Structure 1
Amino acid sequence: MIHSYAELRAFALSLNLPQVEDSTGWGNPCLKAHGKMWVWWSPYADAAVFKCDFDEREMLLQADPDTFTLHPHYTNHRFILVKAGHIDPTWAAPRLTQTWRALAPKRWLKSWDATLPN
């Protein structure tokens, strides 16, 4: 399980996805992918922030309230908070990869995908 931003950052970087850099967002450390915020820790709760659509967010909040939470700051945004110590790397890895792909410019992603082994 992941317990802190430092652990989350190290885990996200271990995915070895290109176009990722250390940065800040709203005065807090984050990782950006393709110049956009990708991985960060909420300044409002001891939790990581993951992109998530509203329907899935409701399902996750109901299915596992010990793991997932929502701070009022994020109510109108497509994010879910995952509490420190409850971030499962097997859940986080595909989520981070999916978000990384969604942030990539389509032309760049098509070119990058062409370099990958089948």
Structure 2
Amino acid sequence: MITLDTLRQIILALPTTEETTSWGSPSFKVNGKAMLFWNPTHDCPVFKVPFEERDHLIEIDPDTFFTTDHHRPHPMVLAHPNHLDIEWARENLTRVWRAQAKKAVVKAWDAGRWRAFLPGGEGGA
């Protein structure tokens, strides 16, 4: 079972990510854009994914992925923590981070110089 703490560790290991709250629940962002939030009603994570991918995930793995009427208009998918694959979560979060982080941060990450973007690091963000 994947927990909120496990997802928190994955996300906060990526440069310039932050934990905030949305509607009173934990939420994670990069560059001011949502990556993931925890849905208290379903006690599960909600991942940012393109619409086409969401529909495909639900079709091929309905035991893990689902949506609700509330979430359907948004590029998000909910996931049952008991069935969620940690590697899928890590890959999705990294992909979303790469798409939403500042390009200089991603470039530094790729070059192994990402520590420059930590608070107090050389180069700043």
- Residue 22 (structure 1) aligned to one of 7, 19, 22: 19
Identical residues among aligned pairs (%): 40
RMSD between aligned alpha carbons?
Answer: 2.0
Runs of at least 4 residues off by over 4 Å: none
Residue 69 of structure 1 contacts residue 82 of structure 1 at CA under 8 Å; is this kept in 2? yes
Partner Cα separation in structure 2 for residue 95 and residue 43 of structure 1: 21
Deviation at 1:80, TM superposition (A): 0.8
TM-score (norm 1): 0.81
Name stretches of at least 5 consecutive residues in structure 2 with no aligned partner: 114-125
Deviation at 1:109, TM superposition (A): 2.9
Residue aligning to 1:76: 73
Deviation at 1:113, TM superposition (A): 4.3
User: How many residues of Structure 1 are paired with residues of Structure 2 in the alignment?
Assistant: 113
Partner Cα separation in structure 1 for residue 47 and residue 110 of structure 2: 27
Deviation at 1:102, TM superposition (A): 1.0
Q: Verify: 1:46 aligned to 2:43, yes or no.
A: yes
Residue aligning to 1:95: 92
Deviation at 1:31, TM superposition (A): 2.1
Residue aligning to 1:6: 5
Residue 11 of structure 2 contacts residue 17 of structure 2 at CA under 8 Å; is this kept in 1? no
Q: Verify: 1:55 aligned to 2:52, yes or no.
A: yes
Worse-matched range after superposition: 52-61 or 95-104 = 52-61
Deviation at 1:46, TM superposition (A): 2.3
Worse-matched range after superposition: 39-48 or 74-83 = 39-48
